[in-house]
């Protein structure tokens, strides 16, 4: 929280556990994805069953009509 102004999520702690288990850092993303695959598939199945996207209610409050600037041109 002090370094970035945001609270760490579960991935912060899962990386610590993976490191303690001796899993190489280059595999952390694969382990993350594998652990969430069943949830992602469940969402896909729900979407196909009801033929609509399932999204939480939200409201965008940021700026609009911004011009895209590639990172290479900043």
pLDDT at 51: 79
pLDDT in tens, 10-64: 888 899 999 999 999 999 999 989 988 998 898 888 888 887 766 667 788 889 9
Domain edges within the chain: 1-55
**DSSP secondary structure letters along 24-71:** -GGGHHHHHHHHHHHHHHHHHHHHHHHTS---------S--SPPP--G
pTM, entire model: 0.51
pLDDT at 46: 85
DSSP letter at 67? P
pLDDT at 54: 66
């Amino acid at each position: 929280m002090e370094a970035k102004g945001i609270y760490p999520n579960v991935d912060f702690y899962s990386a610590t556990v993976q490191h303690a288990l001796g899993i190489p850092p280059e595999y952390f993303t694969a382990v993350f994805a594998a652990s969430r695959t069943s949830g992602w598939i469940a969402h896909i199945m729900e979407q196909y069953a009801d033929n609509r996207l399932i999204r939480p209610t939200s409201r965008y409050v940021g700026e609009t009509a911004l011009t895209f600037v590639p990172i290479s041109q900043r």
